[in-house]
Amino acid sequence: MRFRQTLGRALRETGQAMDRAGIRTQQLLLAERRYGDDDPFIFDDFLSRHRQQMPLLKYGRPLISNDVAYLAPCATMIGSVRIGANSSVWYKAILRADECDNGSRFECENEGDIWELDENRPTDYRRNNSEKVGGGIFIGENTNVQDGAIITSRIGHTQIGNGVTIGHLAQIHSATIEDFCLIGMGSVIGENCKIEQESFIAAGAVLAPGTVVNQGELWAGIPATKLRDLSAEQREKLHYQSKEVRFAVPVLRGC
Protein backbone atom coordinates (compact mmCIF):
# COMPACT_ATOMS: atom_id res chain seq x y z
CA MET A 1 0.00 0.00 0.00
CA ARG A 2 2.89 2.37 0.71
CA PHE A 3 4.27 1.54 -2.72
CA ARG A 4 0.87 2.31 -4.29
CA GLN A 5 0.65 5.65 -2.54
CA THR A 6 4.22 6.61 -3.48
CA LEU A 7 3.69 5.57 -7.09
CA GLY A 8 0.34 7.38 -7.24
CA ARG A 9 1.84 10.60 -5.94
CA ALA A 10 4.73 10.36 -8.41
CA LEU A 11 2.34 9.83 -11.32
CA ARG A 12 0.09 12.67 -10.16
CA GLU A 13 2.95 15.16 -9.83
CA THR A 14 4.40 14.03 -13.16
CA GLY A 15 1.04 14.67 -14.79
CA GLN A 16 0.87 18.14 -13.26
CA ALA A 17 4.38 18.96 -14.54
CA MET A 18 3.47 17.74 -18.02
CA ASP A 19 0.29 19.82 -17.94
CA ARG A 20 2.28 22.96 -17.06
CA ALA A 21 4.80 22.21 -19.83
CA GLY A 22 1.97 21.72 -22.32
CA ILE A 23 0.34 25.02 -21.44
CA ARG A 24 3.64 26.91 -21.73
CA THR A 25 4.40 25.26 -25.08
CA GLN A 26 0.97 26.15 -26.43
CA GLN A 27 1.41 29.79 -25.40
CA LEU A 28 4.85 29.93 -27.00
CA LEU A 29 3.31 28.63 -30.22
CA LEU A 30 0.42 31.09 -30.28
CA ALA A 31 1.97 34.25 -28.81
CA GLU A 32 3.59 36.77 -31.13
CA ARG A 33 7.03 37.69 -29.84
CA ARG A 34 9.88 39.81 -31.07
CA TYR A 35 13.52 38.89 -30.68
CA GLY A 36 14.87 40.06 -27.34
CA ASP A 37 11.49 40.55 -25.69
CA ASP A 38 11.11 39.02 -22.28
CA ASP A 39 7.36 39.27 -21.80
CA PRO A 40 5.79 36.99 -19.21
CA PHE A 41 3.53 34.20 -20.33
CA ILE A 42 -0.06 35.31 -20.76
CA PHE A 43 -1.48 32.59 -18.55
CA ASP A 44 -1.54 32.30 -14.78
CA ASP A 45 -2.05 28.64 -14.00
CA PHE A 46 -2.75 27.41 -10.47
CA LEU A 47 -2.64 23.68 -9.76
CA SER A 48 -4.03 22.59 -6.40
CA ARG A 49 -2.40 19.75 -4.47
CA HIS A 50 -5.51 19.38 -2.33
CA ARG A 51 -6.69 15.78 -1.86
CA GLN A 52 -10.42 15.60 -1.33
CA GLN A 53 -10.40 12.05 -0.01
CA MET A 54 -7.43 10.75 1.95
CA PRO A 55 -7.12 6.99 2.59
CA LEU A 56 -4.74 5.90 5.35
CA LEU A 57 -2.92 2.61 5.72
CA LYS A 58 -4.23 1.61 9.15
CA TYR A 59 -6.97 4.10 9.87
CA GLY A 60 -9.20 3.39 6.88
CA ARG A 61 -10.48 5.24 3.85
CA PRO A 62 -13.55 7.37 3.11
CA LEU A 63 -16.49 5.36 1.79
CA ILE A 64 -18.92 7.63 -0.03
CA SER A 65 -22.34 6.56 -1.33
CA ASN A 66 -22.63 6.51 -5.11
CA ASP A 67 -25.79 8.59 -4.68
CA VAL A 68 -24.15 11.36 -2.64
CA ALA A 69 -25.64 14.74 -3.52
CA TYR A 70 -22.54 16.95 -3.57
CA LEU A 71 -18.94 16.92 -2.39
CA ALA A 72 -17.16 20.26 -2.70
CA PRO A 73 -13.77 19.98 -4.43
CA CYS A 74 -12.05 21.69 -1.50
CA ALA A 75 -13.74 19.63 1.22
CA THR A 76 -11.51 17.12 3.03
CA MET A 77 -12.40 13.60 4.19
CA ILE A 78 -9.62 11.77 6.04
CA GLY A 79 -9.63 8.16 7.20
CA SER A 80 -12.73 6.18 8.20
CA VAL A 81 -15.47 8.51 6.99
CA ARG A 82 -18.84 7.16 5.80
CA ILE A 83 -21.34 9.37 3.96
CA GLY A 84 -24.82 8.19 2.99
CA ALA A 85 -27.00 8.83 -0.04
CA ASN A 86 -28.21 12.36 -0.85
CA SER A 87 -25.93 13.90 1.76
CA SER A 88 -23.64 16.83 0.94
CA VAL A 89 -20.33 18.19 2.19
CA TRP A 90 -19.63 21.80 1.26
CA TYR A 91 -16.63 24.04 0.77
CA LYS A 92 -13.68 23.84 3.20
CA ALA A 93 -15.46 21.35 5.45
CA ILE A 94 -13.09 18.91 7.18
CA LEU A 95 -14.11 15.41 8.28
CA ARG A 96 -11.21 13.84 10.15
CA ALA A 97 -11.28 10.23 11.37
CA ASP A 98 -7.60 9.36 11.47
CA GLU A 99 -7.15 8.06 15.01
CA CYS A 100 -9.30 4.92 14.91
CA ASP A 101 -7.78 1.45 15.09
CA ASN A 102 -9.04 -0.74 12.25
CA GLY A 103 -6.64 -3.53 13.14
CA SER A 104 -3.33 -4.54 11.71
CA ARG A 105 -3.07 -5.98 8.22
CA PHE A 106 -1.79 -9.21 9.82
CA GLU A 107 -4.75 -9.43 12.20
CA CYS A 108 -7.36 -9.46 9.43
CA GLU A 109 -8.46 -12.57 7.58
CA ASN A 110 -9.29 -10.47 4.54
CA GLU A 111 -6.89 -7.72 3.47
CA GLY A 112 -9.83 -5.45 2.63
CA ASP A 113 -11.07 -5.55 6.23
CA ILE A 114 -8.51 -2.95 7.33
CA TRP A 115 -10.53 -0.41 5.35
CA GLU A 116 -13.83 -1.28 6.99
CA LEU A 117 -14.75 0.18 10.38
CA ASP A 118 -17.97 -1.00 11.97
CA GLU A 119 -19.85 1.75 13.81
CA ASN A 120 -20.87 -0.82 16.42
CA ARG A 121 -17.27 -1.60 17.29
CA PRO A 122 -16.52 -0.27 20.79
CA THR A 123 -13.90 2.43 21.12
CA ASP A 124 -13.44 2.46 24.89
CA TYR A 125 -10.43 0.13 24.80
CA ARG A 126 -6.88 1.46 24.60
CA ARG A 127 -4.06 0.86 22.16
CA ASN A 128 -0.89 -0.43 23.86
CA ASN A 129 -2.66 -0.02 27.24
CA SER A 130 -2.00 3.70 27.19
CA GLU A 131 -3.52 5.57 24.29
CA LYS A 132 -7.29 5.73 23.89
CA VAL A 133 -8.49 4.72 20.45
CA GLY A 134 -10.56 7.02 18.30
CA GLY A 135 -13.47 6.10 16.05
CA GLY A 136 -15.00 6.74 12.66
CA ILE A 137 -17.37 9.36 11.27
CA PHE A 138 -20.73 7.98 10.15
CA ILE A 139 -23.13 10.31 8.35
CA GLY A 140 -26.59 9.14 7.31
CA GLU A 141 -28.77 10.10 4.38
CA ASN A 142 -30.04 13.56 3.38
CA THR A 143 -27.63 15.28 5.76
CA ASN A 144 -26.00 18.61 4.93
CA VAL A 145 -22.52 19.54 6.21
CA GLN A 146 -22.12 23.21 5.37
CA ASP A 147 -19.09 25.37 4.63
CA GLY A 148 -16.15 25.31 7.03
CA ALA A 149 -17.63 22.72 9.40
CA ILE A 150 -15.14 20.55 11.30
CA ILE A 151 -16.04 17.00 12.37
CA THR A 152 -13.59 14.78 14.26
CA SER A 153 -13.68 11.43 16.06
CA ARG A 154 -10.59 11.52 18.26
CA ILE A 155 -11.90 9.57 21.27
CA GLY A 156 -14.83 7.67 19.79
CA HIS A 157 -17.27 7.48 16.90
CA THR A 158 -19.07 10.53 15.59
CA GLN A 159 -22.51 9.38 14.48
CA ILE A 160 -24.77 11.77 12.58
CA GLY A 161 -28.22 10.61 11.55
CA ASN A 162 -30.53 11.31 8.63
CA GLY A 163 -31.80 14.73 7.66
CA VAL A 164 -29.36 16.64 9.87
CA THR A 165 -28.25 20.17 8.98
CA ILE A 166 -24.81 21.22 10.27
CA GLY A 167 -24.32 24.97 9.94
CA HIS A 168 -21.32 26.92 8.70
CA LEU A 169 -18.16 26.67 10.87
CA ALA A 170 -19.80 24.32 13.37
CA GLN A 171 -17.58 21.82 15.19
CA ILE A 172 -18.58 18.30 16.22
CA HIS A 173 -16.16 16.12 18.19
CA SER A 174 -16.88 12.43 18.91
CA ALA A 175 -20.58 13.09 19.46
CA THR A 176 -23.90 11.47 18.50
CA ILE A 177 -26.52 13.50 16.63
CA GLU A 178 -29.79 11.81 15.83
CA ASP A 179 -32.19 12.41 12.93
CA PHE A 180 -33.54 15.81 11.85
CA CYS A 181 -31.46 17.98 14.17
CA LEU A 182 -30.24 21.47 13.31
CA ILE A 183 -26.75 22.44 14.49
CA GLY A 184 -26.42 26.21 14.26
CA MET A 185 -23.55 28.15 12.69
CA GLY A 186 -20.37 28.36 14.75
CA SER A 187 -21.63 26.04 17.48
CA VAL A 188 -19.32 23.54 19.20
CA ILE A 189 -20.48 20.06 20.18
CA GLY A 190 -18.09 18.56 22.72
CA GLU A 191 -16.93 14.97 23.05
CA ASN A 192 -19.45 12.31 24.10
CA CYS A 193 -22.40 14.67 23.68
CA LYS A 194 -25.70 13.17 22.56
CA ILE A 195 -28.34 15.21 20.75
CA GLU A 196 -31.60 13.39 20.32
CA GLN A 197 -33.81 13.74 17.26
CA GLU A 198 -35.60 16.95 16.23
CA SER A 199 -33.45 19.15 18.47
CA PHE A 200 -32.05 22.60 17.71
CA ILE A 201 -28.63 23.88 18.83
CA ALA A 202 -28.54 27.65 18.38
CA ALA A 203 -25.78 29.47 16.51
CA GLY A 204 -22.63 29.97 18.60
CA ALA A 205 -23.71 27.57 21.35
CA VAL A 206 -21.02 25.52 23.10
CA LEU A 207 -22.05 22.15 24.56
CA ALA A 208 -19.76 20.86 27.30
CA PRO A 209 -18.46 17.31 26.87
CA GLY A 210 -20.98 14.65 27.89
CA THR A 211 -24.05 16.88 27.52
CA VAL A 212 -27.33 15.15 26.64
CA VAL A 213 -29.96 17.11 24.72
CA ASN A 214 -33.32 15.41 24.89
CA GLN A 215 -35.67 15.06 21.96
CA GLY A 216 -37.19 18.28 20.65
CA GLU A 217 -35.23 20.75 22.82
CA LEU A 218 -33.67 24.14 22.04
CA TRP A 219 -30.25 24.84 23.56
CA ALA A 220 -28.22 28.06 23.40
CA GLY A 221 -25.46 29.97 25.16
CA ILE A 222 -21.88 29.47 26.38
CA PRO A 223 -21.96 27.01 28.01
CA ALA A 224 -25.18 25.92 26.36
CA THR A 225 -28.28 25.36 28.46
CA LYS A 226 -31.83 24.38 27.64
CA LEU A 227 -34.08 27.31 26.75
CA ARG A 228 -37.33 25.48 26.06
CA ASP A 229 -39.00 22.67 24.16
CA LEU A 230 -39.70 23.13 20.47
CA SER A 231 -43.32 23.26 19.41
CA ALA A 232 -44.77 20.63 17.09
CA GLU A 233 -44.76 23.17 14.26
CA GLN A 234 -41.10 24.02 14.82
CA ARG A 235 -40.13 20.35 14.88
CA GLU A 236 -41.97 19.84 11.62
CA LYS A 237 -39.94 22.68 10.09
CA LEU A 238 -36.77 20.70 10.79
CA HIS A 239 -38.14 17.97 8.51
CA TYR A 240 -39.10 20.58 5.94
CA GLN A 241 -35.60 22.07 5.91
CA SER A 242 -34.05 18.66 5.38
CA LYS A 243 -36.31 18.05 2.37
CA GLU A 244 -35.58 21.48 0.89
CA VAL A 245 -31.83 20.92 1.10
CA ARG A 246 -32.17 17.45 -0.41
CA PHE A 247 -34.12 18.69 -3.44
CA ALA A 248 -31.98 21.79 -3.98
CA VAL A 249 -28.53 20.20 -3.83
CA PRO A 250 -28.75 17.89 -6.91
CA VAL A 251 -29.02 20.98 -9.13
CA LEU A 252 -25.39 21.72 -8.22
CA ARG A 253 -23.99 18.35 -9.22
CA GLY A 254 -22.75 19.73 -12.51
CA CYS A 255 -21.03 22.77 -11.01
Whole-number pLDDT of residue 175: 92
Please tell me whether residues 179 and 65 are part of one structural domain: yes
Domain of residue 137, residue span:
50-254
- Tell me what the mean pLDDT of segment 151-174 comes to: 91
Taking residues 234-254, report their average pLDDT.
Answer: 62
On the question of pLDDT at 148 being above 90, the answer is yes
Domain count along the chain: 2
Query: Do both 42 and 60 map to the same domain?
Result: no
Give the pLDDT score at 83: 92
Q: pTM for the full model? A: 0.72
Among 30-44, 98-112, 195-209, 211-225, which stretch is predicted with the lowest mean pLDDT?
Answer: 98-112
> Regarding beta strands 131-132 and 126-127, do their DSSP bridges make them parallel or antiparallel, or are they unpaired?
antiparallel
Residues 89-109: pLDDT tens digits?
999 999 998 887 654 333 334
Residue 149 sits in a domain whose CATH number is 2.160.10.10
pLDDT confidence band for 132 (50 / 70 / 90)? low
Specify whether 126 is located in the same domain as 200. Answer: yes
